[in-house]
Structure 1
Amino acid sequence: MMVPLALLLLGALAAAMAPRLLALSDWPDREPVLALWVWQCVVAGVLLCCVLAMALSAAAAWTAVRGHVFAPAPHGVMEAYALSAYAPWAAPVALLLACGGVWTAVMLTREVRAARARRSQRRAELLVRSPLLPGEEPSGERLVVLEGVRPEAWWLPGTAPQLVITTAALRRLKGRQLDAVLAHEQGHARARHDWLLYCSGALATGFPQVPVFAGFRDQVHRLVELAADDVASRRFGRLTIALALVELNEDRGVFGPCPTHFAQVPQRVDRLLSPTRRFTAGRRLQMTAAAALVPAVPLLVAFVPGLRALT
């Protein structure tokens, strides 16, 4: 079978089936960090299928590209791929996949720029609401307290990340609940969840008809919150972070019968108050290794003819 076609079929199968299989599983809520790793491996595998198919198709279509792709290969490897067999349609496929790669880069650049613009706007608004005192340097304090009637707390990422919290939240949060909220937001910052959100948003916006990219975006938004909840709960207890979530969100109507933008908050609270048994360390290691093999499958498919030629 022609290798580029096999790679494209493999990528299409993974893109269509992986979201369904993960949606039917109940373990991602128990192991959100592991679930994020699995999603990243699946997406990486789909993208790798496209990149390898583009490279082989371009090698079949243009001699100059062929010389670069097979330059380090021993004699006889290029013949094993029978590039002339799919030369008639190789150029359109390579150009289509190359356009998809350029479009992905454009979408990612747009997502990063939009996020930076929003962050700059929020920093400017923060400076208006909490101006610097005479002689004070903009050193980027890690905690900023704002006067506000609504309990809110959020992490503002960047070169000098800040936790912003309102006075209403300080009045609401009791005991170690403030520390738990801080640990939750620091969990986002340490794991660089903002980059996961950028990448998933770029892929889903650029290719809205591809199920794996849409599922990746939707699940990342949910799983990063669960992962950050787990970071806080390990330090301060599940009850503490659950009560903090209730205190910060009960005035938003999220616990009522009508769904809102914060509809996942009640689910997060229920998960914290009714924990399920986590996987053992051995099981997590096995699943991590198995997920890492997903991007290896396209590489194996691409290199099998060359390896056979060497034996």
Structure 2
Amino acid sequence: MLVSLVLLLLGALAAVVAPRLVPRADWSEREPIVALWVWQCVVAAVLLSFALSMTFSAAAAWQLVRGQVFAPAPQGVVEAYALGTDGPWAGVLAVVLACGGLWSAAMLTQEIRAARAQRRRRRQELRVRAPLLPGESDGGDRLVVLEGDRPHAWWLPGTAPQLVITTAALRRLKGRQLDAVLAHEQGHAQARHDWLLHCSAALANGFPQVPVFAAFRDEMHRLVELAADDVASKRFGRLTIALALVELNEERGVFGPCPPPDTHLPQRVNRLLSATPRLTPVRRLRLTAAAALVPVVPLLVAFVPALRALG
């Protein structure tokens, strides 16, 4: 039971501390792809801590679970965990954590179903406004141009992502700005950013009181845009994509004295124009490797008694 409680406290500590530490990193805006990886590793460590805590609690409470979990382990390893001596609290904790896992799966399923329904609805509306021409296939490489008074460009995720742009955007974007906007949207599609957004939204909606999940959702919305900006800027330059963002959004009031609180466009444009140098490859590699070790911590905690018994 001690290992289960340590894992539970470790997951709770990470859930509270991570939202305060990770966003303060001065390199996150310079390396949004690395920041995305760090957040995924942190959330994976939190979920893994709770899952392992549930497993050990269930093994301590019920002989059937214990036999399945420790079936290949020597008797000395089983004795090192001192299972079966914790009373009813182990079973209560296992049930609570199992309910949390089931609730997470239900929220993710609900999020995916809602996203699929919205995607089908938007594709049907798109077919009405831009029907296929004779001999034209509904493939992912199809660029759809819609009549519209507002400049806008977006992508429809799915097995065959589609890029959509309005005629107003075509009139406003000059030179390589159009190519930069399309490269930005293609960066979203190629990296499958929609899955990150769905998973983060499911966790945040399912557990609104857990700080790490709310921060995970908010940071995903911000970082995926920065990552897509970098994809476009590598091909067409920072100034080109910055001017394209201004052309597409200047009529929406996001660059005025009182921009909407949920917009990151001014910060994105300032970031592109400032041209802050990236981190060195060695430091990026170190950050990536360090983040990959975060989910290993709960595994080490879980296997400490076994390693001591075998050592």
Please state which band the TM-score falls in when normalised by the shorter chain: over 0.9
Q: How does 1:20-169 map to 2 (within 5 A)?
A: 20-134=20-134, 136-139=136-139, 141-169=141-169
AA at the equivalent of 1:162: Q
Q: Quick one: distance in 1 between partners of 2:300 and 2:83? A: 18
Q: Quick one: distance in 1 between partners of 2:159 and 2:10? A: 40
Alpha-carbon RMSD: 1.3
Does the C-alpha gap of structure 1 residues 284 and 65 become closer, same or farther in structure 2, counting only changes over 3 Å? Answer: same
Between 57-66 and 20-29, the greater mean CA deviation after superposition: 20-29
- How high is the sequence identity, in percent, across the aligned residues? 75
Q: Quote the residue 2:273 is aligned against.
A: 273
Q: Quote the residue 2:7 is aligned against.
A: 7
Contact 2:151 2:169 in 1 (8 A): yes
Contact 2:147 2:166 in 1 (8 A): yes
Q: Quick one: distance in 1 between partners of 2:276 and 2:283? A: 15
- Offset at residue 86 of structure 1 (A): 2.2
Q: Quick one: distance in 2 between partners of 1:278 and 1:95? A: 47
- The normalised TM-score by structure 2 is 0.97
Does the C-alpha gap of structure 1 residues 121 and 72 become closer, same or farther in structure 2, counting only changes over 3 Å? Answer: same
Contact 2:62 2:84 in 1 (8 A): no
> Which 5+ residue runs of structure 1 have no aligned equivalent?
none
Per-residue CA deviations over 1:147-173 (Å, capped at 9, x if unaligned) read 111101001111221100011101111
> Which 5+ residue runs of structure 2 have no aligned equivalent?
none
Q: How does 1:176-191 map to 2 (within 5 A)?
A: 176-191=176-191
Q: Quick one: distance in 2 between partners of 1:261 and 1:124? A: 32
Per-residue CA deviations over 1:48-86 (Å, capped at 9, x if unaligned) read 000000000000111110000001212311100011332
Contact 2:144 2:162 in 1 (8 A): yes
Contact 1:254 1:262 in 2 (8 A): no
Does the C-alpha gap of structure 1 residues 140 and 274 become closer, same or farther in structure 2, counting only changes over 3 Å? Answer: closer
Contact 1:142 1:160 in 2 (8 A): no
Per-residue CA deviations over 1:165-222 (Å, capped at 9, x if unaligned) read 0111011111111111111111111111100001000000000000000000000000
Q: Quick one: distance in 1 between partners of 2:237 and 2:276? A: 14
Q: Quote the residue 1:300 is aligned against.
A: 300
- Offset at residue 136 of structure 1 (A): 4.6
Q: Quick one: distance in 2 between partners of 1:142 and 1:301? A: 50
Per-residue CA deviations over 1:113-162 (Å, capped at 9, x if unaligned) read 11111111110111111123456554455200111111010011112211
